[in-house]
Every structure is written in structure tokens, then in C-alpha cells.
Amino acid sequence: MPSACDSLIDDIEDMVSSSDPTPLERQSARKSIMPRSRKKKEPLNQEELQTDSLIPGTQKIWMKTWGCSHNNSDGEYMAGQLAASGYKMTDDPTDADLWVLNSCTVKNPAEDHFRNSIRKAQEQQKKVVVAGCVPQAQPRMDYLKGLSIIGVQQIDRVVEVVDEAVKGHSVRLLGQKKDGGRRLGGARLDLPKIRKNPLIEIISINTGCLNACTYCKTKHARGDLASYPIEELVERARQSFQEGVCEIWLTSEDTGAYGRDIGTDLPTLLWRLVEEIPEGAMLRLGMTNPPYILEHLEEMAKILNHPRVYGFLHVPVQSASDSVLMDMKREYCIDDFKKVVDFLKEKVPGVTIATDLICGFPGETEKDFQETVELVKLYRFPSLFINQFYPRPGTPAAKMEQVPAHVKKQRTKELSQLFKSYNPYDHEVGERQHVLVTEESFDAQYYVSHNKFYEQVLVPMRAEFKGKMIEVDIYEAGKHFLKGRPVEDSKPFTPSIAAPLQKGEVSGMTQEPMANGFQGPSSMSSPSHLLIGSYSVDREVLKKLIIGVTLIAAILSYIVEKLYT
């Protein structure tokens, strides 16, 4: 086939003709070459570097928590870690760049609110990170696709997850924490946290439970019982009091089961904690199921009579029918519950027993329901949580034959009307009581305090009362509250051993040297500083330094790229 060239080239040397410049001539010609200057462009003035959208730790975060005290404690820990890493926590969801939604899976309405919040965030172009029991139990739900998830035992890694979500990545951390094969209670208790109320510390003493109730979805999320060691809980309480806390709530899915997995028990923990409570400060015990408190009734009565422990216990019965309790797999009969209540009422005069009831559990007959009605008439519980049964997906109860919806509603209404028919606090009008003031009422008209039996007492909003133990005369009783008039010649008593943190201030953020050279918590230090080695660094200065270095790196990279293109 003929070549496109006029002549064939047999060797590479044949490509050099006699008219071509020699190597020496080419070298000498380079001296006369003048570099041509390029016209400078000004792209940097026209381009804005969106640092806030690129650098994790500079965004605003809004957090919403649903559910129990345990979930609220988790939310406080997550908020504290995010704030400690530089994120700004905001109360305004519209002002936030990212929403952290901490869910509850106990009932359908709570999950519905959670799902609606996700949709609302997406409509507003907000980044979303989800946490709590719903995604832990059902991470493959359609409405969770593409979202970052923090498992209930992974809250100590919330900053990592949020950092990645800010970058547009999806991260899911759902694993369990273990030590030598043994499941742990969860994240460390000494993590930074922002208390919703600076006067109240919520301490989770264990996670999970030993039961397998047929209606419960929380078990799918929290799993089996895993308790924190006593020393860690005592140290957490001690640190809280050093930060101005005057009330501690102990919480878990079942406080009565505490310690069974680590060779101890609830009374042993409580006696240790009582040693740390300052005079005038109070401890409130969380929910306990009847089977486990039965073994410790004598000791529990002594503890509830202690002057620094509220005479209050939340013991959910759910139903007064043994047949229904068996279908629920509650592992006790109604006589067990009555034994607990009767014993504590006798040994702890004035004790408040709160309980829960489920209306319309599958298979509940009218006779079963009336047994529950008679139980309420017998004890006239001052605090009663009435719940219409909701079948939760994946639970055995969801597969049982359901009670018709209208019957469930009617039973819920009947029980609610019975509860409203009596006033449990009328007999206290005229009494003089000591109360601990810790909160503000929803209508912002009163301070909220509690007496020895954790009954709500509304008192005047005087700044000198907040966080104090005061003496009041009870002059009015409502369905859910008492009203107290401060005794004129009585002076408020301060139970806190230190000034409380400011609202929004991070607990455990900074540390100061102890005598032994180790670092210990400082209740008077500011969360605006971060301890790096032995140096205290201003957090805002550090953040600006990081942003500056990042900008310089971006500019240098841009310059290099333009020079070589």
C-alpha cells in the first residue's frame, strides 16, 4: 500500500536535513528568547470561599429530643460534645444549618412527630442527623434512607457523624460498646454535656433490661441489661454537685434491675450516692418494674425515707389483669404489684407511687379492663400515665388479635375520667413544707419546686428562690400541683456547693491541675477555652486560626493551579 510520504525514511537520522539548525545553533538561539508576560486575572476577588459550608465545626445545630429521661440525658451529652467541638447550638430551627433529631420509639405518635420533623427539615434544605431508639431499632425504614444515624451506644461519636453530614456524607454508627466481650452501659459518663436545666443532672445508671415485654419496641433499640460501675456513677454525681447541681435524677429502662449483670444491686448504689449528696440537695429515683424491687423492699423503704432522697417511686403496672399481664410477659402478677405499693405506703408514710396503664392491649376483655379500673379506685394514684395501646412494628403484640379502635378509645376515656374525678392533694392544704426550687412553670408565672414526696409545689418567682430549699405554707391544691406561700421569717437554704453553670454552658469542658498532677473538672472555668496539653486555648481564636489556615491553603492551591495551566 503506498505511503502518504513522498519518500521512505529508512532510519531516524534521515529525518534531519541539511537545512535544519545544528544543536549548537539551537542552544545559542535560546539566549535571544524573551519571556512573554501574561495579563493578570483577578479571579480571587470574584470568587467567594464559602468557609462555613466547608469547615465542620462552624455551623449552627438545632437539636430536638423526644421521650424518656434516658433519651434526654443522651441529648444533653450530644449537645455538649457538639458545642465543645465548636458548633453553635441554637434554639431556633430555622436558623440552624443542621438538625439532630433524637427519637423515641415507645408509641406511634412519637415516631410520627419524628418522621414529620425529618420531612420538614428536608423541605427547608437542612442537613439531618438522626439518633435515638427509632433508627437504632429500624435503621432500614424508607424515610431514613440516605440519613446519617447515631446509635444509642455511639453518642460519644456524634461529632464525627455531624462532621461528615456537614460535608454531605451519610454515616451510620449502630454498634454496641463492649469490653472483653461484655456489653457496656454505653458512652462514658464524663463526656461534655449541656444540661437542659443547669440545676438538674440526669444520670443513666444502666441501659436495656432483663424483660421481653411483647409490646415493647424500646427493647429492640436498647437491648439487654448493661450497667455502669458504681464508682463511675458516684464520680459523675460528685462532678455534678461541683458544677452547682442540686437535684439528681437516676434513669434507665429499669432502675430496679441495676447491677444484676455486674454483681451488685440498686440499694448498694443508692447508699453510695447518698454519701455524696450535699445537705438540701435531692435525689430522685427513676422507673422500676415490680419483679426486681420486690427483692429489696426493706432497703428501698429505708432509702426513700432518707432526708436527701425523694419519697417517690415510679412502678408501672400496665394492667390489673393477670391474664393480660401474662400476654404482655410482664413476669409478675397483680398481687406482686400490690405488695410493693402496700409495703412502701406503710413504711414510707406519704410516699408517692406513680404508675402506667395500657388500655386496649390485644385480648383485653371488659372484665380485664374493669379490674384495672378497680385498682385505680383502690389506690387513687396521684400520678398516673394512661396510654392507649399502639401496636409497634416488629413486636409480638402487633401480631396478636387487636381490640377494636373505638373500644380502646372508650376505655382510655373512661380511665382518664376516673383519674380526673379525685384530687389527691386536698389534704395537704394548711401544711408547712420544705421544697426545693428548680424550674420555671410553663406559663412563666411561677417557680416550680418539689416537696419531700416529689409533689409539685408552685411558689412566687423571686430570683433568690431559684436553686434553693425554702419553707412554704400550702394554701391551695389542684389536680397536679400545690401552691405554697413562703414563710416570712424563713431564710432560703442553698444546697449547691458551687455556683451553677449558666444555661447553655458546657459541663466538664475545661480542667485545671489537681495536687497529684492529673487534670480534674473545674466548675468555675469557662467553656470558651479548650485544654490542649497544658495550655488553655481560646476556642474562638482556635476556630479563626483554622479558618485562616484553610483560606491560605485554598488561595495557594488556586495560584499554583493557574500558574501551571
Q: Of all residues in the chain, what percent carry a pLDDT higher than 70? A: 83
Q: What is the mean pLDDT of residues 85-112?
A: 93
pLDDT band at 145 (very low <50, low <70, confident <90, very high): very high
- pLDDT tens digits along 211-266: 999 999 998 888 999 999 999 999 999 999 999 999 999 999 999 999 999 999 99
pLDDT band at 184 (very low <50, low <70, confident <90, very high): confident
* Most confident stretch, 35-39, 56-60, 369-373: 369-373
Q: How many residues does the chain have?
A: 565
Cβ atoms within 10 A of the Cβ of 13, count?
7
Q: What is the mean pLDDT of residues 84-92?
A: 95
Give the per-residue pLDDT at 14: 41
Q: What is the mean pLDDT of residues 336-341?
A: 98
Helix intervals (H) in 422-490: none
- Between CA 78 and CA 87 the distance in angstroms is 11
Give the per-residue pLDDT at 107: 84
pLDDT band at 195 (very low <50, low <70, confident <90, very high): very high
Higher-confidence residue: 554 or 131?
131
The answer, yes or no, to whether residue 54 has pLDDT greater than 90, is no
Give the amino acid at 10.
D
In contact, 69 and 136? CB cutoff 8 Å: no
Closest by Cα among 380, 506, 382 to 450: 382
pLDDT band at 36 (very low <50, low <70, confident <90, very high): low
DSSP state for residue 428 in the 8-state scheme? G
CA 291 to chain centre: 27
Give the per-residue pLDDT at 11: 40
Give the per-residue pLDDT at 530: 45
- Between CA 119 and CA 99 the distance in angstroms is 11
The answer, yes or no, to whether residue 47 has pLDDT greater than 60, is no
Closest by Cα among 85, 90, 112, 111 to 100: 90
In contact, 194 and 89? CB cutoff 8 Å: yes
In contact, 467 and 246? CB cutoff 8 Å: yes
Q: Are strands 535-538 and 529-532 parallel, antiparallel or unpaired?
A: antiparallel
pLDDT band at 544 (very low <50, low <70, confident <90, very high): low
In contact, 506 and 190? CB cutoff 8 Å: no
pLDDT band at 473 (very low <50, low <70, confident <90, very high): very high
Residue 391 grid coordinates: 401496636
In contact, 452 and 350? CB cutoff 8 Å: yes
Q: Of all residues in the chain, what percent carry a pLDDT higher than 90? A: 73
Closest by Cα among 441, 426, 415, 418 to 478: 426
Q: What is the mean pLDDT of residues 272-285?
A: 97
Q: Which residue has the cell 537520522?
A: 13
The answer, yes or no, to whether residue 1 has pLDDT greater than 80, is no
Q: What is the mean pLDDT of residues 372-386?
A: 98
In contact, 312 and 454? CB cutoff 8 Å: yes
- pLDDT tens digits along 515-542: 333 333 333 333 444 444 333 455 556 5
pLDDT band at 182 (very low <50, low <70, confident <90, very high): confident
DSSP state string for 55-113: STTSSEEEEEE-SSHHHHHHHHHHHHHHHHTTPEE-S-GGG-SEEEEEE--SSHHHHHH
Angle 114-118-121 from CA coordinates, rounded to 5°: 135
Give the amino acid at 39.
K
Higher-confidence residue: 249 or 137?
249
Closest by Cα among 397, 332, 335, 423 to 371: 335
Q: What is the mean pLDDT of residues 154-181?
A: 89
The answer, yes or no, to whether residue 45 has pLDDT greater than 50, is no
For helices 69-84 and 158-166, give the axis angle rounded to 10 degrees: 60
Tell me the three state secondary structure of residue 376.
helix
Residue 92 grid coordinates: 431556633
- pLDDT tens digits along 299-316: 999 999 999 999 999 999
> Listing from the earlier edge strand, what are the strands of the sheet with 383-388?
312-314, 352-359, 383-388
Contacts 24+ apart (CB under 8 A), 554-559: 554/49, 555/44, 558/43, 558/44
